[in-house]
Amino acid sequence: MATTIRSVAAAAGVSVATASRALSGSPAVVDSTRRRVIQAAIALDYTPSRLARSLVTGSTGNVGVILPDITNPFYTSFLAGLEAALGAQDIGVLIGDSGENPDRENRLVRRMSTQVDGLVLASSRLSDEQIVAATSRRPVVLANRMLETSEELPKRLGQVVIDVHPGFTAAVNHLSSLGHRQLTYVDGPAQSWSGRQKRIALTLACSALGLPLRIRSTTRADFGAGRTAGRQVAAEAAQDGTTAVIAFNDQMALGVLAGLREAGKDVPGDLSLVGCDDSLEDGLAWPALTTVGSSARALGELAAHKILNPMGQEAGLIPTALIVRDSTERARSDRGAPVA
């Protein structure tokens, strides 16, 4: 049977209220009494109940995290960084998976709000209005999502994002330097805020170089969607001239790679391929995937810091950079030309 605060109080010769105040660090308890209570707690191997403590303090000691796809390695790394930072402060993490469904995400927000002290919404699919409403329930940190409003942001809202523009601009410049003159972007879900930032970055970078960009829409950001898109790109490449593909994330890029191979296309011999996130284990993609790298773990750590120590309304930024590996090479039509 677990030791109770009543047992500790009896062993220390004090009231239950005094024992509770002593263990919570209350300055109302004199040092000699505090030492006596602590010694009794150690001797009895007493562990305070988080539930009981929450009834007194109103704090649960937990943070809720809602993800759009828990199977995506990007979010595994994100959670590792978040949990490590919160765990160091003895704060627990409750996890929900919305499955890219905004209605389900909203239900998770409502349910979790009664069980946690704050919410972290990763790549949220909720509307701006729904997110603002969530802050009336609990403090909220948006990870990889920003509100797009001219109105003043709620004081209980924090935002941390990955800045995709440097990495995606570098990807377009890299492919252009290899002689690629027609790019196809395999997009993620239409409601994805980060997807919109990627489209903007690619459009601007291609426009600056005079390169046409084709955007292929999908409904999910996973291997299956990428595989289907890869087969479609392979079937249409001869007509539209595509020689390089950029994918929304590495999971989709892995699918694109499979789809291209199924259609008899070689990477990078026939088409070059670029992913995003640098989330794949070494050796999982063959050839090794050129990707727009960022740190999901750093994003998780920054989200934890934001919810523990609100830093005003300025968004926290995680940078991106291109990591060149073996899935990109000179366009077939450009081979033999001097390297730019």
Taking only the tens place, the pLDDT of each residue in 193-244 is 999 999 999 999 999 999 999 999 998 999 999 999 999 999 999 899 999 9
DSSP strands (E only) in 131-256 = 140-143, 157-162, 183-186, 213-216, 244-247
Same domain, 274 and 205: yes
Same domain, 154 and 301: yes
Higher pLDDT, 152 or 183: 183
pTM score: 0.81
Residue 96 included in any domain: yes
Per-residue confidence (pLDDT) for residue 335, from 0 to 100: 61
Same domain, 247 and 98: no
Same domain, 129 and 176: no
Higher pLDDT, 243 or 20: 243
Structure tokens at 122: 């990763």
CATH number at residue 110: 3.40.50.2300
Cα 294 to Cα 29, 50, 281: the distances in Å are 49, 36, 14
Which of 88-97, 134-143, 167-176 tops mean pLDDT?
Answer: 167-176
Same domain, 257 and 211: yes
Judge residue 340's burial from the number of C-beta atoms within 10 Å of its C-beta, 0-12 exposed, 13-18 middle, 19 or more buried.
exposed
Residue 78 included in any domain: yes
User: How many domains is the chain built from?
Assistant: 3
Confidence of residue 55 (pLDDT cuts 50, 70, 90): very low
Which residues lie below 8 Å from residue 133, measured CB to CB, with a gap of 6+?
none
Residue 53 included in any domain: no
Amino acid identity for residue 41 in this structure: A
> Is pLDDT above 50 for 5?
yes
Higher pLDDT, 239 or 45: 239
Same domain, 11 and 155: no
The arithmetic mean of pLDDT across residues 50-54, rounded, is 54
Per cent of the chain over pLDDT 90 is 72
Per-residue confidence (pLDDT) for residue 323, from 0 to 100: 97
Confidence of residue 45 (pLDDT cuts 50, 70, 90): confident
Backbone φ and ψ of 92, nearest 5°: -85, 165
Confidence of residue 26 (pLDDT cuts 50, 70, 90): confident
Residue 55 included in any domain: no
The arithmetic mean of pLDDT across residues 55-82, rounded, is 86
Same domain, 176 and 246: yes
Residue 339 included in any domain: no
Of 129, 193, 135, 200, residue with least CA distance to 165: 200
Confidence of residue 54 (pLDDT cuts 50, 70, 90): low
Cα 217 to Cα 68, 73, 103, 313: the distances in Å are 18, 22, 22, 33
Per-residue confidence (pLDDT) for residue 340, from 0 to 100: 47
Same domain, 206 and 265: yes
Q: Which of 19-28, 83-92, 262-271, 330-339 has the lowest mean pLDDT?
A: 330-339
Same domain, 44 and 102: no
Of 297, 319, 311, residue with least CA distance to 159: 311
Longest dimension (CA), the chain: 89
Residue 54 included in any domain: no
Cα distance between residue 252 and residue 69, in whole Å: 13
Q: Which domain holds residue 18?
A: 5-48
Of 103, 102, 92, 143, residue with least CA distance to 121: 143
Residue 56 included in any domain: no
Same domain, 88 and 103: yes
Residue 35 included in any domain: yes
Higher pLDDT, 79 or 154: 79
The arithmetic mean of pLDDT across residues 138-150, rounded, is 90
Cα distance between residue 198 and residue 79, in whole Å: 23
Structure tokens at 128: 């701006």
Same domain, 148 and 187: no
Same domain, 173 and 191: yes
